[in-house]
Chains A and B, each alone.
Chain A
Amino acid sequence: DAGVTQSPTHLIKTRGQQVTLRCSPKSGHDTVSWYQQALGQGPQFIFQYYEEEERQRGNFPDRFSGHQFPNYSSELNVNALLLGDSALYLCASSLQFTGELFFGEGSRLTVL
């Protein structure tokens, strides 16, 4: 049973560019959440998708957007990258209303 998979694992971008990160949820899960983890910090909630719609959003600007596909996989898009966007981006999947999240290994984004 495959767990949560994310791609790419590492990437480097320059300021102003755009990035797309991808996530496939654990088999049987229908909800995908995205978190940003800066170095030495706990993960911060970006948003959560269920039934292809954004269900809840954290305190992140509109430069951060996402999408969920009919097969429950998800993308995180970040536009106009800033140096401060450098972080580990974690995808987590769950069954709705359980609150229990299963995390992927993350995508480490470096913005130069």
Chain B
Amino acid sequence: AQSVTQLDSQVPVFEEAPVELRCNYSSSVSVYLFWYVQYPNQGLQLLLKYLSGSTLVESINGFEAEFNKSQTSFHLRKPSVHISDTAEYFCAVSFSGYALNFGKGTSLLVTP
């Protein structure tokens, strides 16, 4: 069965520290991979995506993710987090090119 697993439900981290949010998926077919961020009481915003090409993708606000086909992973990283990065982060995988399968989310809490 095709599924998406976010390995950590909550990740507390101090401001300016590095962070990694983990995401694994199970699929035997080609996939498209996404990370979305959701701030309180808001909809989801696309953070970054992998459709094809370079396996390392970057966002405009310093996040990056690397597609690892052999490990079926798409972990999200940032070398130095800010208080404003506090939010819920969702990994999503498109197996069919239509619907997105979302993980359960990882709550990132950045403290001073």
Q: Which A residues contact B (CB, under 8 angstroms)?
A: 4, 33, 35, 40-45, 48, 55-56, 58, 90, 92, 97-106
Contact = CB atoms under 8 A, between A and B. Distances in A.
Interface of B: 32, 34, 36, 42-46, 49, 51, 90, 94, 96-105
A103 B44 contact: yes
A43 B97 contact: no
Given A41-B105, A42-B105, A103 B45 contact: yes
B90 A55 contact: no
Nearest to B104: A42
Contact of B42 (A40, A92, A105): A105
Contact of B96 (A56, A90, A102, A103): A56
Contact of B94 (A41, A58, A99): A99
B81 to A, nearest CB: 22
A100 B96 contact: no
